[in-house]
Structure 1
Amino acid sequence: MKVLLIAPNIDSSDVGEAFVAFKWAQNLSERVELTVLAFQRAGRSRLEFQLPNARVISWPEPAWPQKHERLNAMLKPAWPIFAKHVRKWMGQALRNGAQFDIAHQLMPQAARYASPLRHFDVPYIIGPLGGALNTPDAFRDEAASAPLFTRLRALDQMRFRYDPWLRASYSGAACILGVAPYVRDVLRDVPLRRFEPVLELGIDDVAPKVARPQTPRVMRVLHVGRGVRTKGLRDTVRAIALLKDLPEVTLTSAGDGEEIEVCRAEAERLGIVDRVTFMGRVSREEVEQLYASHDLFCFPSFREAAGGVLYEAMRNGLPVITAERGGPAWIIDANSGFRVPVTTPETFAKDIAQGLAQMALDPETRCRLGAGARDKVAREGQWSGKADRLVDLYQSVLSGQKGEPLPL
């Protein structure tokens, strides 16, 4: 099968979307005849060396957006330049007789970018798309300090309804992939030919099993994530404070950002400074050590498209408490953890505390759910299997079959 894959950033040495795109491209290149179109960032290993089994076409990534990396990651200001490169290259290649069975716009993950693939007579797929989740009304006051560009997400729904280029990109696609089923509802104003939930995350393998102490009432809780309000660290701190009769339940936070100092002050106000450790930013090696040394992963992020840290915790055999919203609601099931309804900050913290208490008092359930989390991610999340299923999806799309949703 001849597959054309486009993504502005693909890089094995990067993080986030660029690294995820590399893992997809690497595994696909071992299964199909793959052509990759991407930017090449200065100072990074050449993409053709990173993907020796693929044909790689790249263009220099503009330097000016990289001066503000967070803004660059959120808004992709160089996307129009990349799309112009893709459109010009594809037009020339097809006029010269190149043939592709299917094209796939893998990234950006955010559902706000019109695709250059819509201009050509090649069946194409877009996604996995994510994002576009709003902040629940009850949490907006506490999340008001978010940067302006993150609040521009509020415009997405209007664009799905009225932007002709975006609508044409999605309605013309042979299939739209979403990181979780919620994306179909986000795109409800766009007539889609086909939608499939496909989690963009993956793992190479599971971590070695760790023998954790199964002592009732003693539980080390871990939260890993960027220090922003929506990641649920503040709610976890409040939940710990509610467990007054379980002082042996402690919390470790790994991550930095503006929310960390707010949570530190919250821990002081609630009188639990001795039960919460804020480590700030830590290395990848230290994060892996934290997963191995803790008993439960609490990540009640209420505006999470997917949640890579969930897969990290699961591959280390940790049971999970998360929010029943967005990607986490799809990733975590009854065999791997608890999902907490997103209501109001007060009720949310109480429900998290109830889940923590149940886990602390019942080590057997904690152990069973940790094993279930590890088995689930081993079964569904390994890159080799995900790539096999994506190729099956390509074939299904080309044959016009609807089929059942694939566990991608």
Structure 2
Amino acid sequence: MKVLVSAYACRPNMGSDPGIGWNTINELAKKHQVWVLTRKDNYPFIEAEIKPKSIPGLEFIYFDLPGAEYWKKGVGLIYLHYYLWQIQAYFVGRKLHNNIGFNIVHHVSYVTYNYPSFLSFLPVPFIWGPVGGGESAPRTFWQDFHLRGKIYEVIRNLIRWTREKDPFVSFTAKKSFLAWGMTQDTAEKLKKLGAANVKVFSPVGLSQQEIDCLAQSSLTKTAPVIFLSIGRLLHWKGFYLGLKAFAQANLTDAEYWIIGDGPDLKYLQALTEKLGITQQVKFWGKLPREKIFQLLGESHVLVHPSLHESGGFVCMEAMAAGRPVICLDLGGPALQVVEETGFKISAHTPEQTVRDLATAMTCLAQNNELRLRMGSVARKLARENFSWEVKSQVLAQTYAEILTSPESLTSSSAIQL
């Protein structure tokens, strides 16, 4: 099939949106002819990767708004640029469609549900996503957020509510032959926006090279037991919950490592001193991916108490390394972790969550056999379910269904902008 892909964020060897964009189009190009619309500043990264590999069936169309390198600075302007870039993408895509005749149009990135894709106006079956962003921190946890965190959550909710009122967002939902939500929370948002065919599917995956690299980490019984958290130090990442739980567990022969940087660093360091666990906690700061993989291999358990997250790459990486995961029963991480590979903690109140996190930490610290058994199952699950090769099978099946479905061939006519 001839596929037109919108991938605003698309760069090889990266995580988050750029990694999702890159890996998705690479899997699509194995079976189809793929044309990719992406930003001009992605050019050096993409071309450096594809020239030595000479990937067939894959063509990139780079473009951007005039002077974009000067004015798209700051989070607000980035999203304004993203919105305007997608309008431009429609005209570029329409011209290509007139010349090529695409079978499917697929919006891949950004993976956010509350911004429209104007390519949905083309008279071609349109796939939206997977997209995320519909998750929210439970309101009972707001009481523990510092002022900056509370302001962030209020503004985030206000922006989402405002963006949902954009008629082009609801049009994108209604025009979607398939709308994929990364989590059940986002899937519910898509349904409310008017999407008729909504499914939950996570685009978060690992390359076979990453899986093989992480699989080299040995499953060890050595003391002390090291708990590890990885991510930006933000209030909604919930690292303060992990620290409180570690202190409550009172594990004298254990350590807690935190990898990452962010605005909450000083707050978390002060909390560590207040809890009296300074000697057992180490803040590593921001590290390169290779070093993170190394420390993951030296640790025993991943603790990921994020309060709202669509993806959760780090949980997937930990499982591929054979590490049990303790996470909250929220968002993307909750879709990855099962009973045999870790603990999913219900998040009703901060006090209950800290108590249950502490219980899970104690259980894994004191039971070597359970830790090793969970790690072994986690590694097997990651190998069988988290690779991009496996994700591509879902994409292939979906595309085949669209091509053979009579409904997909009666798409309404395009609305000209």
TM-score w.r.t. length of structure 2: 0.88
Q: Deviations over 1:39-89 (max 9, x none)?
A: 110783454963743122110462135533x556xx522123322222112
Shift in Å, 1:99: 1.1
Shift in Å, 1:30: 1.8
| Structure 2 equivalent of residue 210 of structure 1 | 217
Structure 1 residue corresponding to 2:290, chosen from 273, 285, 294: 285
Q: Deviations over 1:85-139 (max 9, x none)?
A: 221122223334x211111001111111111122111000011111132222122
Structure 2 residue corresponding to 1:134, chosen from 133, 136, 141: 136
| Structure 1 equivalent of residue 412 of structure 2 | none
Q: Are positions 1:174 and 2:177 aligned together?
A: yes
> Is this contact kept in 2: 1:224–1:254, CA < 8 A?
yes
> Is this contact kept in 2: 1:220–1:251, CA < 8 A?
yes
| Structure 2 equivalent of residue 328 of structure 1 | 333
SS in 1 for 2:193: coil
Shift in Å, 1:401: 9.2
**Distance in 1, Cα, partners of 2:48 & 2:32:** 16
List alignment gaps of at least 5 residues for structure 1: 403-408
> Is this contact kept in 2: 1:161–1:189, CA < 8 A?
no
Shift in Å, 1:358: 0.9
| Structure 1 equivalent of residue 89 of structure 2 | 86
Structure 2 residue corresponding to 1:373, chosen from 372, 375, 378: 378
Shift in Å, 1:197: 1.6
> Is this contact kept in 2: 1:202–1:382, CA < 8 A?
yes
Structure 2 residue corresponding to 1:388, chosen from 385, 393, 401: 393
Question: How many correspondences in the alignment?
Answer: 396
**Distance in 1, Cα, partners of 2:403 & 2:159:** 30
Shift in Å, 1:265: 0.8
Q: Are positions 1:337 and 2:333 aligned together?
A: no
- Name the one with the larger helix percent: 2
Q: Which amino acid letter does the alignment assign opposite residue 90 of structure 2?
A: R
Shift in Å, 1:14: 4.9
**Distance in 1, Cα, partners of 2:384 & 2:235:** 32
CA RMSD in angstroms, aligned pairs only? 2.4
SS in 2 for 1:373: helix
Q: Deviations over 1:153-204 (max 9, x none)?
A: 3136535764321111111100001112232223342222211222111111
Structure 1 residues 147 and 4, CA gap change in structure 2 (3 angstroms):
farther
> Is this contact kept in 1: 2:72–2:81, CA < 8 A?
no
Structure 2 residue corresponding to 1:361, chosen from 352, 357, 366: 366
Structure 2 residue corresponding to 1:63, chosen from 56, 64, 69: 69
> Is this contact kept in 2: 1:321–1:337, CA < 8 A?
yes
TM-score w.r.t. length of structure 1: 0.90
Matches within 5 A, 1:175-194: 175-194=178-197
**Distance in 2, Cα, partners of 1:338 & 1:46:** 38
Give aligned-pair identity as a percent: 23
Q: Are positions 1:311 and 2:316 aligned together?
A: yes
Shift in Å, 1:311: 1.2
Structure 2 residue corresponding to 1:221, chosen from 227, 232, 239: 227
Matches within 5 A, 1:99-178: 99-143=101-145, 144-146=147-149, 151-155=154-158, 158-159=161-162, 162-178=165-181
**Distance in 2, Cα, partners of 1:190 & 1:15:** 28
SS in 1 for 2:8: coil
Q: Are positions 1:265 and 2:263 aligned together?
A: no
Shift in Å, 1:4: 0.9
Between 1:247-256 and 1:180-189, the stretch displaced more is 180-189
**Distance in 2, Cα, partners of 1:149 & 1:71:** 13
> Is this contact kept in 2: 1:35–1:57, CA < 8 A?
yes
| Structure 1 equivalent of residue 300 of structure 2 | 295
Structure 1 residues 188 and 201, CA gap change in structure 2 (3 angstroms):
same
Shift in Å, 1:148: 6.0
Q: Which amino acid letter does the alignment assign opposite residue 40 of structure 1?
A: K
List alignment gaps of at least 5 residues for structure 2: 408-417
| Structure 1 equivalent of residue 413 of structure 2 | none
| Structure 1 equivalent of residue 410 of structure 2 | none
Shift in Å, 1:150: 6.4
SS in 1 for 2:87: helix
**Distance in 2, Cα, partners of 1:14 & 1:211:** 25
Structure 1 residues 172 and 145, CA gap change in structure 2 (3 angstroms):
same
Structure 1 residues 391 and 48, CA gap change in structure 2 (3 angstroms):
farther
